[in-house]
Amino acid sequence: MRRRTALGLAAALPACARAQQAPRPDTLRAIARAAGRGFGAAVRADLLASDPAYAALFAAEAELLTPEWEGKWLALQPEEGKFDFSALNAIIAFAQANRQRVRGHALLWQEAIPPWVATALAESPERARAVMEAHFSTVLNTTRAHIRDWDVVNEPIANPAGADVPQAGDNPMRDTPWFRALGPDYVEIALRAARAQDATLRLTLNEYGIEEATPDAEEKRTRLLALLRRLLDRNCPLDALGIQAHLQMRKPFDPAPFARFLEQVRVMGLAILITELDVREPDTLAADIPARDAAVAERVKLFLDTAIGAGCRTVITWGLTDRNSWLGSEPGVARPDGVATRGLPFDEALQRKPMWQAIASALRG
Ligand code: 9MR
């Protein structure tokens, strides 16, 4: 991860990314705004600093920015008590220069935690709580003026046995270092700890694998609803559900059960955000680009129409361009045949694809 001071980055911004002008009307950012909605994307500080075309694209198209890496524990507190906000601050400076908002991602997750945290969590529940509270205190108080929405707990629900990432036993909570240290109440402990630091911060619980029409996703939705009900029954502070939406073309999508789920979340009084939208293409897809792009766009349109129809007002994609997507680089996720994946609204040359039109059309509602 390249490091730059916030000032250094702002100075390095291309003129088009610095301009304090109204957003162009034909951008996802402006289309969403005109419809009373918000559009954003996950962003990387190293690419903002090194790639002017990438920076200009984010300045034009996104109103919300989620740090793809820079808000994670390993990025912020690699050693106990030694915090590093340089990369996150670079994103905040970029957002300020372009009148964008930044979402926080993610306070508590089982990935991107440094070894010292794993060791501390294994020591005792008291030590686990102290480590959590110290991290939340510094992170939330340092970012308070700029980040008003954090994913407090990321991915707490276990995948059902037999799913892509199976887990032994049938505990509905995912077996993570936090779960092992503090038991199933760690989610409530974390939400209360975040609220204690900031009375008006939007507290979001973020989850994946709950969108599609498969038995695994249905079971995960059931588990998630049970957790949300339990939290709210106990008056635990919680404001929003983040639905990651890493969609997969090889899995079916059916609007009806997903809409029913969203309605159940909505009546609990929680806001619903789409936080990490992208589309994984099937391994078997023939390399006919127009057909692939059309299929991806059709899936995105159906999915977003369902979410927006159920009251979701915020759509965030996990990156903007295929050039820089985790879909093309993550082992086990990238296509085994080496064919570049096309799961984001802009292609590798930063040109709009049918997925861009699908998002625009859904945002217009
Ligand atoms: O896209 C992210 C990748 O660059 C990071 O290496 C990885 C580990 O921090 O996390 C990826 O983002 C994940 C997100 O934080 C949570 N939901 C799943 C995303 C894709 O793995």
The angle formed by the CA atoms of residues 29, 142 and 114, to the nearest 5 degrees, is 95
Determine the Cα–Cα distance for residues 58 and 40; give it in Å rounded to an integer: 9
Kindly give the number of the ligand 1 atom that is closest to the alpha carbon of 69. 9
Q: Is 340 helix (H, G, I), strand (E, B) or coil?
A: coil
- How high is the pLDDT of residue 231? 98
Residue indicated by tokens 């073309």 = 249
Kindly give the number of the ligand 1 atom that is closest to the alpha carbon of 74. 9
Please enumerate in sequence order all residues whose Cβ is within 8 A of that of 87, keeping only pairs 6 or more positions apart, or say none.
Answer: 1, 2, 3, 4, 45, 46, 67, 69, 70, 75
Around Cβ 148, how many Cβ atoms within 10 Å? 15
- Assign 3-class secondary structure to 27-64: CHHHHHHHCCCEEEEEECHHHHHHCHHHHHHHHHHCCE
Instruction: Note the pLDDT of residue 148.
Output: 98
Residue of 43, 46, 47, 69 to test ligand 1 pocket, by largest number of atoms within 8 Å of CB = 69
Token pair in block for residue 43: 């962003």
Query: What is the 88 CA–ligand 1 centroid distance (Å)?
Result: 15
Of all atoms in ligand 1, which is nearest to the CA of residue 42?
1
Determine the pLDDT at residue 198: 98
SS3 state at 152 = strand
Question: pTM surpassing 0.75?
Answer: yes
Per residue in 152-197, pLDDT (tens digit) is: 999 999 998 755 554 556 689 999 999 999 999 999 999 999 999 9
Residues enclosing ligand 1, CB less than 6 A? 68-69, 72, 111-112, 154, 208, 244, 276, 326
Q: Which residue has the tokens 């990651």?
A: 244
**In the chain, where are the structural domains located?**
23-364
User: Which ligand 1 atom sits closest to the C-alpha of 326?
Assistant: 1
Our mutation pick for probing the ligand 1 site, out of 47, 70, 318, counting the most ligand atoms within 8 A of Cβ, is: 318
Per CATH, which fold does 23-364 belong to? TIM Barrel (3.20.20)
| pLDDT of the residue at 14 | 44
pLDDT of residue 58: 98
Low-confidence ranges of the chain (pLDDT < 70): 1-23, 162-170, 283-287
For 32, 34, 153, 254, 308, the CA distances from 262, given in Å and listed in that order, are: 20, 24, 19, 13, 10
- Give the model's pLDDT for residue 354: 98
Model pLDDT for residues 349-362, shown as the tens digit of each residue: 999 999 999 999 99
Ligand 1 mean position, distance from CA 106 (Å): 10
Query: What pLDDT score does 336 carry?
Result: 79
How many A from CA of 72 to the centre of ligand 1?
A: 10
Name the closest-CA residue to atom 4, ligand 1: 326
Atom of ligand 1 nearest to the CA of 72: 9
pLDDT at 168: 54
